[in-house]
Structure 1
Amino acid sequence: MLKEDPMRCQIRVLVLLLLLFPFTLVAQFRKYSNEFLNIGAGARGLAMGSAQVASVGDGTAGYWNPAALVQVREQPQLSLMHAEYFAGIGKYDYGNLAIPLKDGKRTIGISVLRFAVDDIPNTVFLVEPDGTINFDNITTFSSADYAFLFSYAQTLKMKNPDKKLNLGFNAKVIHRKAGDFATAWGFGFDAGIQYINKRLQIGIVARDVTTTFNAWSYSINDKMREVFYVTQNEIPVKSTELTAPKLIGGASYNFKLGKSVNLLAEANLDFTFDGRRNTVISSSAVSIDPKIGLEASLKDIFYVRAGINNFQKALKDEDSTYTQKVWIYQPAIGAGFRIQNVMIDYAFTNLANQSNPLYTHVFSLKLDLVKKKKKK
């Protein structure tokens, strides 16, 4: 009886874990948390409707699919992004540093994400004990969410040189803070696979594979507790928020339209297991949300992108009976250009949907850190 290659056994076990973890945990955890981690990373990915798990191959892979981070193999790469939401009220920043190891088969990376809203009015003490309103008692505070992703990726040896199989993992540390009275720490893991066969690429990612949790603690003084009690508001106590696992699968294909023109098309499917959602396919066991992205490139210098995601059913605006429903979606477009080792990307995306648009501009920068040659 022939023995099976140990590497193939490891791959099968990892694939099985990616597919089974969500089903084993759905019965126990149904809470939502860390929604800021679903925004995205990099203007390229946002312009393509967040369809990225298969085709991503730069530093932003630390967010989209950690397995693809191994494609950064020649020199370190720095990625930065800034976006402002809700007319500048919310600010979102992303940074990544990817460092290939000497063997060229492994890459490590660290990503930092921050979403913050500043100058939030604190009206707890707006009303004095005698019932009068004192606007001088209004103070402001900031709410900020941070995530630190530590990534590791490696490529496996394949018999066919045209085929590649990459594996990757993320360890996540999350810190959330609301003023001086609420803080949370959280931890979680992601795992991903990327398969490359010439122009075809396939990616699978299991996010929050072991269930990500946030442990909240509160610092409420006696004066604030008294206000909560008088106004019949619940006094917060220590609590834990749980993020259920999510499975994302996708495939991309690069169509050669000539010597210098390429057209990349990618489709992703997001599988969630925390109850029925307003998605294209929705059930109590699983909900499926599709994402579609396109990228046309000219000589790998200039890029034009478009994408659609977040399909939902909503009531028709002109319907006075409130019974007719239509499909709405979230569109995005963008562009990018490369100058030697510098890549600049732009995305114009709608954060809401086509019936209630909320557009924002996103800019990102990617820099290949070319090592200086030593002088003889």
Structure 2
Amino acid sequence: MKKILLLIVILASTSISAQTIRKYSNEFLNIGVDAAALGMSNAVTAQTADVNSGYWNPAGILQLEDKQIALMHANYFANIAQYDYAAFAMPIDDRSAWGLSLIRFGVDDILNTTQLIDSEGNIDYNRVSLFSTADYGVTFSYARKLPLEGFNYGVNAKVIRRIIGDFASSWGFGFDLGLQFQNKSDWKFGLMLRDITTTYNTWSINEEEYEKIKNAVPGENQELPETSELTLPKAQFGLSKKFEFHYDYTLTTAANLNMEFAQTNDIISTSVVSINPAVGFEFGYIDLAFLRAGVGNFQQITQIDNTSKVSFQPNIGLGFKYKGIQVDYALTDLGNQSAALYSNVFSVKVDLGIFRR
């Protein structure tokens, strides 16, 4: 652990030199995974305790009793974009666990019309081609119990690959750190620090392709884009508690404070930190059926007349679990309650131990 922390400190101190810091970078990694969590507006930092914890808070994979896999698929922007996720996690011993996950967000079969008009000014549709743009994130998670009772920690090491057809591509890497604590009253607390060293991306631009498009708009795009960027750290603090009623019914309540260390449109915004709250609920029946709801993404929106209003993002979801197989569904709004960009998200989670019974 000391070696890991030393490496993180060295990376943090050496990578922030003459790079471009982005307020919004690698945003595909902020969408979320697992329909169960999305149905609760992502307010799961404190209570996440399965294979999907590698994304939400790696400390949570310590709650696994056996090997577990998860899959998710979603269509975004009227089926233009495809979002896919797969994960595996397992305990190592009674004090540690590890996991691996993959995220892909891509738009395929985009028309490349940069060569539509030939050198003589004629339109030639045979010169139109197709390309894809895709973002990949691979995350390795490791978690371990701390000597303090009730405390667990987890670390993510992630590799990011982004491809824009033949025009440009990038590699990136970064680290996350997660903590969880449960007291004797069964209150759960969680802290997730994303991109704690800032996540570094370096881009490679295909200059031959760039030469073909740089004069598409006269006087614009005459210089190559910046080839490196840093993603600022983010933090999520959460708490939750599960209540039981008559042995058959449960109610899990959860809340998150999502923090960015930059000034944004979040409902609480300063020059140092911006905070966006989220709350979620899960009603369960005999650990078989689940009904979920949540609200988050509170934003201050400036109107055309310079007045402001608060927008928010509502979510609902359902889940069913039987003999180690859980299927979840979420209806989630990509933007806020005033936009009709709702997406249907499905995910499945399987305890691999069922195949040995």
User: TM over 0.5, yes or no?
Assistant: yes
Cα-to-partner distance string for 1:222-276 (whole Å, 9 max, x where unaligned)? 7x51542464333435610210011111111112233211111111111111x31
Q: Assess, with a 3 A threshold, how the Cα gap between structure 1 residues 227 and 289 changes in structure 2: closer, same or farther.
A: closer
Q: What displacement does 1:196 show? A: 1.1
Q: TM-score, normalised by structure 1?
A: 0.86
Match in the other structure for 2:67: 76
Query: Aligned residues, how many?
Result: 346
Match in the other structure for 1:310: 297
Q: What displacement does 1:315 show? A: 4.4
CA distance in 1, matches of 2:291, 2:199: 36
Q: Assess, with a 3 A threshold, how the Cα gap between structure 1 residues 28 and 183 changes in structure 2: closer, same or farther.
A: closer
Residues 312-327 of structure 1 mapped to structure 2, 5 A cutoff: 312-315=299-302, 322-327=305-310
Q: What displacement does 1:135 show? A: 2.5
Residues 1-376 of structure 1 mapped to structure 2, 5 A cutoff: 30-31=21-22, 32-72=24-64, 74-101=65-92, 103-158=93-148, 164-197=150-183, 198-221=185-208, 225-229=211-215, 231-232=218-219, 233-236=221-224, 239-273=227-261, 275-315=262-302, 322-370=305-353
Q: What displacement does 1:30 show? A: 3.7
Which letter does structure 1 place at the counterpart of 2:254? E
Contact 2:265 2:301 in 1 (8 A): no
Decide which structure has the larger Cα Rg and report it.
Answer: 1
Q: TM-score, normalised by structure 2?
A: 0.90
5+ residue gaps, structure 1: 1-6
Contact 1:229 1:235 in 2 (8 A): no
CA distance in 1, matches of 2:302, 2:273: 23
Q: What displacement does 1:211 show? A: 0.6
Aligned-residue sequence identity (percent) comes to 43
Q: What displacement does 1:359 show? A: 0.4
Q: What displacement does 1:294 show? A: 0.6
Cα RMSD (Å) of the superposition?
2.6
Cα-to-partner distance string for 1:26-78 (whole Å, 9 max, x where unaligned)? x9864131000000010011000011110111111000001111111x21000
5+ residue gaps, structure 2: none
Q: Assess, with a 3 A threshold, how the Cα gap between structure 1 residues 304 and 38 changes in structure 2: closer, same or farther.
A: same
SS of the residue aligned with 1:63? helix
